[in-house]
Amino acid sequence: EADIYQTPRYLVIGTGKKITLECSQTMGHDKMYWYQQDPGMELHLIHYSYGVNSTEKGDLSSESTVSRIRTEHFPLTLESARPSHTSQYLCASSESGRETGELFFGEGSRLTVL
């Protein structure tokens, strides 16, 4: 059973606010990811990390930042939220090894920006 947790599960905020979505995993996985998913659409990679102090941008990384100070923790920050950021944000982790595509996902954070 996967042990990866996201908070908050649901968030409604106003335009211009700064928010941080939290993600923690207890599996000791080196690789962690943030995806954005809209209903009926594919997952878009926002950021990923291959280990502590390693962060990379995905294909949808503008206006957000991440940090990886500890193996288990990979928070995502939006400096100034906009209505276009309204979406479901999924955090995931996987074991090391370049060929590993088995991701373990958190339950998601559903963000609404008014």
Residues that bind other proteins (CB under 8 A): 40-45, 90, 98-99, 101-108
Query: Would you say 17 or 50 has its CB closer to other proteins?
Result: 50
Query: Would you say 81 or 90 has its CB closer to other proteins?
Result: 90
Nearest distance, CB of residue 2 and other proteins, angstroms? 8
CA torsion through residues 56, 14, 92, 28, sign: positive
CA distances from 36 to 26, 63, 111 (A): 22, 13, 10
Q: Decide the pairing of beta strands 109-113 and 10-13.
A: parallel
Record the tokens describing residue 30, joined without a space. 């080196």
Nearest distance, CB of residue 19 and other proteins, angstroms? 20
Q: Is residue 113 a contact partner of residue 87, using CB atoms and an 8 Å limit?
A: no
Query: Would you say 14 or 40 has its CB closer to other proteins?
Result: 40
Nearest distance, CB of residue 14 and other proteins, angstroms? 25
Nearest distance, CB of residue 36 and other proteins, angstroms? 11
Query: Would you say 17 or 58 has its CB closer to other proteins?
Result: 58
Q: Where do runs of H (alpha helix) occur along the chain?
A: none
